[in-house]
């Protein structure tokens, strides 16, 4: 009585399969007068998918107080909705619709609780919604009670939520020019890692082995992790440096890493060796040193992964002020190229001259020098009291370098030890190569050889000196292996300190 809302679905049984489905139904509206007293009436409507058009149904109007003979509890159904992920996980908070249907029709009282918390009660209703929040595994338990007081058994639904993408990290091995990727996920767990080499590369499953550079060029490796729920992390990337072991000619500045005594926040030290020399550079396309306190001297520097034989360099300066203002950016008064000799900065020998043009490259040739660090030290222009800043669009450094051969990487440690009054030389050789190698250890007290030492394995050898007195000395290790298809032997010398045993 007084209930004008009719069920939104009707059960339809298909004779072909015997299957019963709930099909949406659209009934003509009932008027309050239709349901003012107990009785029966016929409603008309249409059923979705039913081609015949109109259907009719018999409606029984009952008094809610009439519960005589009702001993059957309602049936409870729990239906989750949210952003569905993979493997039964949701990637959002989840709304669970708890519906109760009673054999005598009408509304019921629903009690629902999330994760054993305080139950919420709603009624009389046909359904109620509860919200499940937070990453993890949850359980919703609900019961429904009909007007006669018949309570259903507990109905429960497991709800699994993971809204957080996994986090991956890439660790670059600069010597091997490879990146190892790992990832974790706190809730649903890691499903996969993928990588792609360079922009436009194809996403490829990461199988746990380091991703190597495909050739000698510099490459950017993109990677991302996906969790079991299907959350995909924002793509990350790592840079594999260029292999500069081969012969080098031409401009090697882009192979180096730029640094400077100071770089203004709106400028970029990387503009020095980005290969670009725009006619009207933006501030981000310049290396510049303007600041409130402008010192008399500034420097810029390149560092390479190995010493390179250098023969000349050229810089194009930039300015926004004429000389003599003591402010802004002006060309320097002078500059000098210096190389690191392993202990100190040394001026290059026989420089051809240091120009200061801001419209053309200022080229300097010098006596060839082999170094892994080159510095341009600049004397700022001033007005007698303060100095202007300095800036440049590009700094090129030219090489004529024969290259170094491929190397079999090993780590060698040597030390002296005593056993009573007898001294030993203890040698440890680690195979850092990605293939088996042969190892030959030579000491003043004997030679030992090992074949087919597997990658990552350590060879340990103690050689007795047969004396209590061991002077300081050296161990020479030859490592032989295959590098890029060729057999290569590398030699590593390790020093040890002298000792007196007993």
Residues that bind Ca ion (CB under 5 A): 70, 72, 102-104, 146, 162, 164, 185, 187, 227, 271, 274, 276, 394
Distances (CA, A) of 267 to 254, 287, 315, 451, 494: 18, 5, 17, 55, 45
With respect to Ca ion, which residue has the nearer C-beta, 274 or 333?
274
Instruction: Please report how close the Cβ of residue 439 comes to Ca ion at its closest, in angstroms.
Output: 45
Instruction: Please report how close the Cβ of residue 281 comes to Ca ion at its closest, in angstroms.
Output: 7
Instruction: Please report how close the Cβ of residue 41 comes to Ca ion at its closest, in angstroms.
Output: 22
Q: Is 33 helix (H, G, I), strand (E, B) or coil?
A: helix
Q: Which residues pair with 397 in a beta bridge?
A: 313
Strands of the sheet containing 20-27, edge to edge, are 9-13, 20-27, 39-47, 54-61
With respect to Ca ion, which residue has the nearer C-beta, 62 or 501?
62
Instruction: Please report how close the Cβ of residue 4 comes to Ca ion at its closest, in angstroms.
Output: 21
With respect to Ca ion, which residue has the nearer C-beta, 59 or 190?
190
With respect to Ca ion, which residue has the nearer C-beta, 270 or 436?
270
The answer for residues whose C-beta is within 8 angstroms of residue 406's C-beta and 6 or more apart is 245, 483, 484, 486, 488
The answer for residues whose C-beta is within 8 angstroms of residue 46's C-beta and 6 or more apart is 25, 26, 53, 54, 55
Peptide linkage before 402 cis (omega within 30 of 0): no
Instruction: Please report how close the Cβ of residue 82 comes to Ca ion at its closest, in angstroms.
Output: 15
Of residues 123, 120, 76, 79, the one with CA closest to residue 102: 76
Distances (CA, A) of 135 to 56, 88, 112, 164, 224: 47, 14, 20, 8, 21
Q: Is 47 helix (H, G, I), strand (E, B) or coil?
A: strand
Of residues 93, 95, 98, the one with CA closest to residue 112: 98
Q: Which residues pair with 369 in a beta bridge?
A: 310
With respect to Ca ion, which residue has the nearer C-beta, 110 or 463?
110
Query: How do 410-419 and 334-340 pair as beta strands?
Result: unpaired
Instruction: Please report how close the Cβ of residue 391 comes to Ca ion at its closest, in angstroms.
Output: 11
The answer for residues whose C-beta is within 8 angstroms of residue 317's C-beta and 6 or more apart is 331, 332, 356, 357, 358, 362, 390, 391, 392, 393
Give φ, ψ of 7 to 5 degrees: -55, 140
CA 488 to chain centroid, in Å, comes to: 35
Dihedral sign computed on CA atoms, order 259, 264, 270, 273: negative
Of residues 366, 375, 311, 314, the one with CA closest to residue 341: 375
Instruction: Please report how close the Cβ of residue 223 comes to Ca ion at its closest, in angstroms.
Output: 17
With respect to Ca ion, which residue has the nearer C-beta, 251 or 371?
251
Distances (CA, A) of 41 to 30, 37, 44, 62, 249: 10, 11, 10, 11, 97
Instruction: Please report how close the Cβ of residue 341 comes to Ca ion at its closest, in angstroms.
Output: 28
With respect to Ca ion, which residue has the nearer C-beta, 104 or 160?
104
With respect to Ca ion, which residue has the nearer C-beta, 86 or 386?
86
Instruction: Please report how close the Cβ of residue 394 comes to Ca ion at its closest, in angstroms.
Output: 4
Total Cβ atoms within 10 A of residue 76: 24
With respect to Ca ion, which residue has the nearer C-beta, 394 or 401?
394
With respect to Ca ion, which residue has the nearer C-beta, 276 or 464?
276
Instruction: Please report how close the Cβ of residue 90 comes to Ca ion at its closest, in angstroms.
Output: 11
With respect to Ca ion, which residue has the nearer C-beta, 7 or 402?
7
| Rounded CA separation 464/10 (Å) | 93
Instruction: Please report how close the Cβ of residue 268 comes to Ca ion at its closest, in angstroms.
Output: 9
With respect to Ca ion, which residue has the nearer C-beta, 3 or 327?
3
Q: What is the DSSP letter of 31?
A: P
Instruction: Please report how close the Cβ of residue 135 comes to Ca ion at its closest, in angstroms.
Output: 7
Q: Which residues pair with 78 in a beta bridge?
A: 98
The alpha-helical segments, DSSP class H, found in 161-265 are none
With respect to Ca ion, which residue has the nearer C-beta, 111 or 394?
394
Instruction: Please report how close the Cβ of residue 149 comes to Ca ion at its closest, in angstroms.
Output: 9
């Amino acid at each position: 009585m007084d209930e004008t809302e009719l069920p939104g679905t009707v059960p339809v049984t298909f004779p072909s399969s015997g299957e019963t489905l709930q099909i949406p139904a659209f009934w003509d509206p009932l008027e309050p007068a239709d349901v003012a007293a107990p009785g029966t009436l016929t409603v008309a409507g249409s059923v979705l998918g039913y081609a015949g058009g109109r259907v009719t149904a018999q409606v029984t109007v009952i008094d809610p107080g009439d519960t005589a003979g009702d001993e059957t509890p309602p049936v409870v159904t729990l239906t989750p909705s949210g952003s569905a992920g993979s493997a039964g996980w949701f990637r959002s908070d989840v709304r669970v619709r708890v519906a109760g249907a009673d054999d005598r029709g009408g509304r019921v009282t629903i009690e629902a609780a999330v994760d054993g918390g305080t139950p919420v009660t709603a009624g009389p209703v046909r359904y109620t919604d509860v919200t499940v929040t937070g990453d993890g595994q949850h359980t919703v338990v609900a019961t429904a009670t009909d007007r006669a007081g018949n309570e259903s058994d507990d109905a429960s639904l497991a709800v699994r939520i993971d809204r957080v993408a996994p986090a991956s990290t890439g660790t670059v091995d600069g010597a091997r020019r490879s990146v190892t990727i790992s990832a974790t996920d706190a809730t649903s767990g890691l499903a996969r890692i993928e990588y792609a080499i360079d922009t436009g590369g194809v996403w490829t499953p990461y199988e746990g082995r380091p991703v190597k550079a495909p050739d000698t060029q510099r490459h950017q490796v993109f990677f991302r992790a996906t969790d079991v729920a299907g959350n995909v992390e924002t793509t990350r990337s790592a840079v594999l440096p260029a292999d500069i072991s081969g012969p080098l000619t031409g401009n090697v500045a882009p192979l180096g890493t730029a640094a400077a005594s100071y770089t203004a926040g709106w400028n970029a030290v990387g503009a020095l060796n980005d290969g670009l020399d725009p006619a009207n550079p933006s501030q981000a396309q310049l290396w510049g040193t303007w600041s409130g306190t402008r010192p008399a001297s500034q420097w810029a520097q390149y560092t390479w992964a190995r010493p390179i034989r250098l023969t000349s360099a050229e810089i194009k300066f930039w300015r926004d002020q004429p000389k003599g203002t003591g402010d802004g950016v002006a060309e320097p008064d002078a500059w000098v190229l210096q190389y690191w000799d392993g202990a100190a900065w040394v001026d290059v020998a026989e420089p051809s001259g240091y120009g200061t043009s801001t419209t053309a490259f200022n080229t300097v040739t010098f006596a060839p020098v082999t170094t892994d660090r080159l510095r341009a030290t600049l004397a700022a222009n001033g007005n007698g009291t303060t100095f202007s800043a300095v800036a440049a669009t590009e700094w090129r450094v030219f090489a004529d370098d024969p290259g170094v051969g491929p190397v079999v990487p090993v780590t060698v440690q040597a030390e002296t030890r005593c056993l009573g009054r007898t001294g030993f030389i203890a040698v440890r050789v680690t195979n850092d190569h990605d293939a088996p190698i042969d190892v030959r250890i030579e000491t003043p007290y004997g030679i030992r050889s090992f074949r087919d030492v597997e990658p990552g394995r350590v060879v340990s050898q103690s050689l007795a000196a047969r004396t209590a007195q061991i002077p300081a000395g050296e161990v020479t290790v030859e490592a032989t292996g295959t590098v890029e298809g060729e057999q290569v032997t590398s030699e590593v010398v390790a020093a040890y300190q002298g000792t007196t045993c007993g």
